[in-house]
Amino acid sequence: MTQVTMTVNGKAASGTVEGRTLLSGFLREELGLTGTHVGCDTSQCGACVVHVDGAAVKACTMLAAEADGAEVTTIEGMANADGSLNVIQQAFQDHHGLQCGFCTPGMVMSAAALLKDNPKPSEQEVRDYLEGNICRCTGYHNIVKAILAASGQDVPAMAAE
Amino acid sequence: MYNFGFEKPGTVADAVAALGAEDAQALGGGQTLIPTLKQRLASPTTLVSLTGIAEMRGVCTGDDGALCVGGATTHATVAAEAGAYPALAATAAHIGDPAVRNRGTIGGSLANNDPSACYPAAALASGATIVTNTREIAADDYFQGMFTTALDEGEIITEVRFPVPEAAHYEKFVQPASRFALVGVFVAKYADGVRVAITGASNDGVFRWSEAEAALSSNFSADALDGLSLPSDDMISDLHGTAAYRAHLCGVMTKRAVAQAS
Amino acid sequence: MPKDSGIGASTKRREDMRFLTGAGNYTDDINLAGQAYVHFLRSDVAHGTLKNVDTSAAAAMPGVVRIFTSSDFDGVGGIPCGWQVTSKDGNVMQEPTHPILATGKVRHVGEMIAAVVADTPEQARDAAEAIVLDIDELPAMVDMKAALADGATKVHDDLNDNLCYDWGFVEENREAVDKAMSEAAHVTSLELVNNRLVANPMEPRVAVGDYARHSDESTLYTTSQNPHVIRLLMGAFVLGIPEHKLRVVAPDVGGGFGTKIFHYAEEAFCTFAAKACNRPVKWTSSRSEAFISDAHGRDHVTKIELALDADNNFTALRCLTHANMGAYLSTFAPSVPTWLHGTLLAGNYRTPLIYTNVKAVFTNTVPVDAYRGAGRPEATFQLERVIDKAARELGVDPVDLRRQNFIREFPYATPVAVEYDTGDYDATMDKMLELADRDGFDARRKASEAKGKLRGFGVNCFIEACGIAPSNLVGQLGARAGLYESATVRVNATGGLVVMTGSHSHGQGHETTFPQVVAEMIGIDADQVEIVHGDTARTPMGMGTYGSRSIAVGGSAMVRATEKIINKTKKIAAHLLEAAEADIELKDGAFSVAGTDKSVTWGEVTLAAYVPHNYPLEDIEPGLEETAFYDPSNFTYPAGAYACEVEVDPDTGTVTIERFVSADDFGNVINPMIVEGQVHGGIAQGIGQALLENCSYDENGQLLSASYMDYTMPRADNLPHMEHYTVDHSCQTPCTHNPLGVKGCGEAGAIGSPPTVINAIIDALQSGGHKVDHIDMPATPDRVWAAMQ
From the CA of A55, how many Å to the nearest CA of chain B?
Answer: 7
Poorest-pLDDT segment among B121-130, C476-485, C623-632, C705-714: C476-485
Q: How far is A68 from chain C (nearest CA, A)?
A: 23
What ranges do the domains of chain C cover? 27-138+202-255+260-293, 380-465+635-788, 484-630
Q: Is C170 on the interface with B (CB under 8 A)?
A: no
Q: What is the pLDDT, as a whole number, of residue A158?
A: 41
- Please state the three-class secondary structure of A69-102 as a single string: CCEEECHHHCCCCCCCCCHHHHHHHHCCCCCCCC
**What is the Cα–Cα distance from C622 to C762, expressed in whole angstroms?**
67
Tens digits of residue pLDDT in B208-224: 999 999 999 999 999 99
Q: Kindly report, as residue ranges, where domains of CATH 3.30.390.50 are found in chain B.
A: 167-260
Helix axes C781-788, B243-260, angle to 10 degrees: 100
Q: Is the pLDDT of residue A104 over 70?
A: yes
Q: Do C492 and C486 contact (CB within 8 A), yes or no?
A: no
Q: Where are the alpha helices (DSSP H) in C204-279?
A: 227-232, 265-277
Residue type, B228: L
**pLDDT-based confidence at residue A155 (cuts at 50, 70, 90):** confident
Q: Do C781 and B241 touch (CB under 8 A)?
A: yes
CB contact under 8 A, C710 and B1: no
Q: Which of B171, B240, B250 to mutate to test the interface with C (most CBs of C within 10 A)?
A: B240
Of A87-101, A128-142, A144-158, C737-751, least confident by mean pLDDT is A144-158
- Cβ atoms of B28 and B51 within 8 Å: the answer is yes
- Could you give the CA distance from residue C6 to residue A117 in angstroms, rounded to a whole number? 40
Quick check: is A24 in a domain? yes
Close Cβ partners of B249 (under 8 Å, ≥ 6 residues apart):
B173, B182, B183, B201, B241, C652
pLDDT over threshold 80, residue C1: no
Rounded distance between C-alpha atoms, residue C776 and residue C727, angstroms:
26
Length of chain C: 789
Residues C498, C530 contacting (CB under 8 angstroms): yes
Closest-CA distance of chain B to residue A16, Å = 13
Domain enclosing residue A49, as ranges: 2-76
Which residue pairs from B29-32 have beta carbons closer than 8 angstroms and sit at least 24 positions apart in sequence?
B29/B74, B29/B100, B29/B103, B29/B104, B29/B105, B29/B108, B30/A61, B30/A62, B30/A63, B30/A66, B30/B103, B30/B108, B31/A43, B31/A61, B31/B96, B31/B100, B31/B103, B31/B104, B31/B108, B32/B104, B32/B108, B32/B109, B32/B112, B32/B114
Which of B245, B246, B249, B253 is the best mutation test for C, with the most CBs of C within 10 A?
Answer: B245
For residues A28 and A31, give the distance between their C-alpha atoms in angstroms, rounded to a whole number: 6
Is B9's pLDDT higher than 50?
A: yes
Domain limits, CATH 3.30.465.10, in chain B: 5-162
Which residues on B lie below 8 Å from A68 (Cβ)? 8
Q: Do A46 and A112 share a domain, yes or no? A: no
What CATH architecture is C484-630?
2-Layer Sandwich (3.30)
Residue pLDDT, tens place only, C66-119: 999 999 999 899 999 999 999 999 999 999 999 999 999 999 999 999 999 999
Interface pTM, i.e. ipTM: 0.97
User: Which of the residues A49, A107, A136, A161 would you substitute to probe the C interface, choosing the one with the greatest number of C C-beta atoms within 10 Å?
Assistant: A136
State the nearest Cα–Cα gap between B178 and chain A, in angstroms.
8
pLDDT surpasses 60 at A159: no
C126 touches chain A (CB under 8 A): no
Is the four-CA dihedral C768, C770, C771, C775 of positive or negative sign?
Answer: negative
Chain A residues touching residue B179 (CB < 8 angstroms): 131
Q: Do A20 and B46 touch (CB under 8 A)?
A: no
Q: Do domains C380-465+635-788 and C484-630 have the same CATH topology?
A: yes
Nearest chain C residue to B96 by CA distance is: C709
**Confidence bin at C4 (pLDDT 50/70/90):** confident
The predicted-structure confidence for C192-233, as pLDDT tens digits, reads as follows 999 999 999 999 999 999 999 999 999 999 999 999 999 999
| Spatial separation of the C-alpha atoms in residues A161 and A155, rounded to whole Å | 18
CATH superfamily of C27-138+202-255+260-293: Aldehyde oxidase/xanthine dehydrogenase, a/b hammerhead (3.90.1170.50)
Q: Other C-beta atoms within 10 Å of C565: how many?
A: 23
- A103 contacts C22? CB cut-off 8 A: no
The CATH homologous superfamily of the domain defined by B167-260: CO dehydrogenase flavoprotein, C-terminal domain (3.30.390.50)
Q: Say if residue C245's pLDDT is above 90.
A: yes
User: Bridge-partner residues for C206, per DSSP?
Assistant: C284
Q: Which of residues 87-106 of C touch A (CB under 8 A)?
A: none
Percent of chain C surpassing pLDDT 70 = 100
Which CATH fold would you assign to the domain C380-465+635-788?
A: Aldehyde Oxidoreductase; domain 4 (3.30.365)
Domain boundary, last residue among A76, A105, A131: A76
pLDDT at C675 over 50: yes
How far, CA to CA in Å, does C741 sit from each of C1, C453, C467, C522?
Answer: 21, 45, 11, 18
Residue A65 domain-assigned (yes or no): yes
Whether residue A135 is contained in a domain is answered as: yes
How far is the alpha carbon of A2 from chain B, nearest alpha carbon, in Å?
8
- Which residues, at least 6 apart from B10, have a Cβ–Cβ distance to it below 8 Å? B52, B53, B54
Pick the CATH number of B5-162 from 3.30.70.270, 3.40.50.2300, 3.30.70.20, 3.30.465.10: 3.30.465.10
* Cβ–Cβ gap B46/A129 under 8 Å: no
pLDDT, tens digit, for every residue of C374-423? 999 999 999 999 999 999 999 999 999 999 999 999 999 999 999 999 99
pLDDT tens digits along B63-103:
999 999 999 999 999 999 999 999 999 999 999 999 999 99
Average confidence score pLDDT of chain C: 97
Position A81 in a domain: no
Same domain, A10 and A68: yes
The predicted-structure confidence for C755-776, as pLDDT tens digits, reads as follows 999 999 999 999 999 999 999 9
**Are A92 and A63 in a shared domain?**
no
Stretch (H or E) spanning B171:
strand B167-174
**CB-based contact C41:C128 (threshold 8 Å):** yes
Q: Give residue-wise pLDDT tens across range C283-337.
A: 999 999 999 999 999 999 999 999 999 999 999 999 999 999 999 999 999 999 9
- Rounded Cα gap, residues C231 and C187, in angstroms: 49
